[in-house]
Every structure is written in structure tokens, then in C-alpha cells.
Amino acid sequence: MSLSPSTLELFDQYVIPTYGRFAVRLARGSGCRVWDEDGREYLDFGAGIAVSSLGHCHPRVVERMRQQLGELVHTSNLYYTRPQGELAKRLVDIVGAPGKIFFCNSGAEANEALYKLSRKFGNEANGFARTSGGTATGGTANPDAPLRRGIITMNGSFHGRTLGGIAATGQDKVKKGFEPMVEGFTHIPFNDCDSLNDAVDAPGTVAVMLEPVQGEGGIYPVSAEYLRTARALCDRRSTLLLFDEVQCGLGRTGDWNGWDTLAPDVKPDAVSWAKGIAGGFPLGAIWVSSRPVQMRSGEVKPLCDLLGPGSHGTTFGGTPLICAGALEVLSIIEDERLLENARNQGRHAVEALRALQSPWIREVRGVGLMLGIELAADFGSRCALPAGKAPSIYMVERLHEAGLLTIPSGTHILRWLPPLNVQTTEVEEAVRILSSVLASLPCH
């Protein structure tokens, strides 16, 4: 009789090892909790890396998806489907400024669409058109003006794993072994207005792209002053201001838009989303402003129409099934007042974590339910960790043993990214688990 292979054996033999996985084999979930194959329960404070915004198997989402599964799953983008149109309208309303949406499948793919938008703008447009009283008056088209192809991104940023994504990302570790990089990306220090000024002024710069709260980089919010400076500089130079809201958008910071939590008066020219947008179903999207653009050809047209028919696409983007799910997720966030919950629970978590006054914690920071717990710089040496074992990974493993899922970031940061409907009792339980793990560390 042959025994069927274990889950770990299946992965060892058949799954390409791009991920360093933790030895946790998850089988089911409900609300903020998941259970492994042996029935062991965990409190899920990672939510699939900021994806499962309503936790697991929210009954309204399950019901809506069941209904859509029985109606229409996929059609291709050769045809019109109601859920995609409705979701596009919902997202434009969320941004709160006129524009249009393109749907894709992931964050990296959404960002690719932003890089392509930037290329189109730099190759085919002179810049933003002049407006008077909200109406485009056009300017003088200059077909011979130098092309602009440079995209500025931030040190420590993360924009995805495609070739464009790793070139855009401001971290060397994602690039190693994949050289040469896609041309045209320059990285500057995050939150440094002088460097931004120089970079926007440099000839050939066409776009500035940033995460309003750096997620993979370790939970670092951009300052309001920086966002306002970026907007003013980009306007002055007819440069696109692009926000990557893949991790911080759609509720995580306690507002629909991450930038609204930081500087609500600033509006980008385009935004990318993924992760929490559909609460766990694979969906990415971009919003592009309808701001008028002066084309080299003399025409004036909205920025959101630059990616015209035949210029971009994807087979699966915006299927009726996934769009129906995303619409339901966004409605639940509104109906259950989860933006407010994210703000309140985030504040409560930060206060409770700071109150621990643990010598092992250097800093607790965060915005809404995007929390970073930075471990002490000497954590590794005082705990005599094995060579090569990052303190963040060590702690995440200890927390797994204690029944709490969290996400490491770099060598010293733990991220808490719980579902937006997390309850006070669950926040307190997570703090208790962390506190008892810290108290039992075999360290001096």
C-alpha cells in the first residue's frame, strides 16, 4: 500500500522553491482565525500579507461569489460585463476625482500598467495641458521636445517581482541575479524633499512613484510635507505623480486611500491597487486621472485615455466573478464601518504594544492596521541566534508556536496586518501572545 505524500513532500518535489516558507500547513479559515492540517488554531495577523481584508470566509462574500459562480465567471475583455463597470465606478468614487480604471490580476501587474502609462506620456505627450476654469485650453504642441522616460522611485520601496517591478523597487536584494535591469528607473532617499527636487528637475524625468506607506520596506509612512512637495514639483514640471497603494490602499490605513490618512489635499495622477481590493481573490487595478494632456501631435486628451485600444491588456483582468467579489468586499467595509474600526484597532494595538515597554522592542509604529514592531538592534547577539537567522524570522517562528501569524519585514521588523474587521479581544489576545513569547525568550 503506498502512502500519499505529505503536503511538505508535495511542495519539496513539485513546487519551484521561490519562497522560504514557514512550516505551517494551513487548511481552513474563519474570521481572523485559521487552522492547520492538524486542527491547530492560529490568530491571523498577517491576513495573507494585507490581502484578506475581511478575514476568512465572510458569509456575505461566500454567498455573493456562489451566486456569481452560477451566473457568469469569465468572458474575456472583448465584451462588456456589468460587475466590471460597477467596480470601476466604485473605485473612481473612492479616489474622489474624475478618471478611469484598468483591471489586471496583481500588484506587480498594476504597477506595470503605471510604467507603460509613464512611457506613453513621456513618448507621446509634451505634458499636462493648460486649463482655465477647469477646461483644457491646450497649449502649443512641440513634436520635437526631448522624450522623457525617467521614473523616480524611493530607496526601500517595493513594487513587485516582474522585470519592471524589480527595476522600480528600491532594494538591491530583489535585483540580484536578474541583471540587466529594465532601463529608466532612478531611486532617491525616501522623505527627502531636496533629493526629490533635484530628481524631478533632472532632464528626462517623466514620473515619480511612491508608496504612501512603505510596506515591505518596514512600515514607513511618507510625510505630509513630502507628499505636498511632490505634488507641487510634479505640477511645475508636468511630471506624473504615481501612488503605489497595493499594500496601504483600500482601508488598511483607516481611510479608503492611504494618502488621505497622510495628506488628504494631495491627489495623484494615477494609483495602483491589488492585495485587499477583493479580500483574497486575485485582482489588481489602476486609476488614472482624466486630467488633460497636451499630445505632441497637437491633440489634447485625458491622461486616462492614453492607454488606448491595443496598447495594453490581460486575459483575466476584471472577470465578472472577481469584480462581483470585490464589489461585495468594498460594500462590507462600508456597511460594517471597517475604516473606523481599522483606525480604532490600530490605535489600540499601538498603545498596547508600547505599554509592554519590552527591552526587545525598539519601536512600534504604524498607520491604521499597518503596524511595524521593530526589534532591538542587539536582539540577534543577545539571543545567540544561529548564524544567518534574522531576528524577525526567529520571532515569527516563536509566534507561530504560540498561535499567532505575523509577517517579517527585513531582519528586525514584524508586521501586523490583521483583517480590517479585527476585534478588540483579538488585538488584546495578539498582544498577550507577543508579550508571553518575549518574556520566555532564552536570551540575556
Contact residues: ligand PLP, CB under 6 A: 106-108, 111, 158-160, 211, 215-216, 244, 246-247, 274
Please list, residue by residue across 127-138, b when 16 or more beta carbons sit within 10 angstroms of its beta carbon and e when fewer do: bbbeeeeeebee
Query: How far is Cα of residue 254 from the mean position of the Cα atoms in its chain?
Result: 14
CB of 130 to ligand PLP, least distance (A): 33
Residue 48 near residue 56 (C-beta atoms within 8 A):
no
CB of 247 to ligand PLP, least distance (A): 4
Closest distance of CB 45 from ligand PLP, Å = 16
Of 70, 422, 132, 102, which Cα lies nearest the Cα of 292? 132
CB nearer ligand PLP, residue 154 or residue 324: 154
Which is nearest to 401 in space by CA: 361, 359, 433, 443? Answer: 433
Nearest one of 284, 246, 244 to 109, comparing CA atoms? 284
- Of the candidates 289, 249, 294, the one whose C-alpha atom is nearest the C-alpha of residue 270 is 289
Give the separation between CA 273 and CA 53, rounded to whole angstroms: 13
Cβ proximity to ligand PLP: between 107 and 292 the closer is 107
> Cell match 521593530: residue?
374
- Closest contact distance (angstroms) between CB of 125 and ligand PLP is 25
249 vs 292, which CB is nearer to ligand PLP? 249
The span from the CA of 258 to the CA of 102, in Å, is 19
Number of Cβ within a 10 Å radius of residue 49: 14
Q: Which is nearer to ligand PLP, 278 or 295 (CB)?
A: 278
Report d(CA 16, CA 439) in Å as an integer.
Answer: 38
Alpha carbon distance 79, 77 (integer Å): 5
**Eight-state DSSP code of residue 403:** T
Q: Which is nearer to ligand PLP, 244 or 426 (CB)?
A: 244
What b/e readout covers 391-409, taking b as 16+ CB neighbours within 10 angstroms? Answer: bbbbbbebbbeeebbbbbb
Measured distance CA(219)–CA(166) in Å, rounded: 19
Residue closest to ligand PLP when measured from CB atoms: 107
Please identify, using beta-carbon distances, which residue of 300 and 420 lies nearer to ligand PLP. Answer: 420
Q: HSE of 342 in the Cβ direction (CA atoms, 13 Å)?
A: 33
Gap between the Cα atoms of 348 and 431, Å rounded: 10
Shortest Å distance, C-beta 66 to ligand PLP:
25
Nearest residue (CB) to ligand PLP, 122 versus 170: 170
**By CB neighbour count within 10 A (0-12 exposed, 13-18 middle, 19+ buried), where does 43 fall?**
buried
Between residues 242 and 300, which has the closer beta carbon with respect to ligand PLP?
242
Which CB, 127 or 218, lies closer to ligand PLP?
218
C-alpha cell at 100: 478611469
User: Minimum distance between the CB of residue 217 and ligand PLP, rounded to whole angstroms?
Assistant: 9
Between 167 and 293, whose beta carbon lies closer to ligand PLP? 167
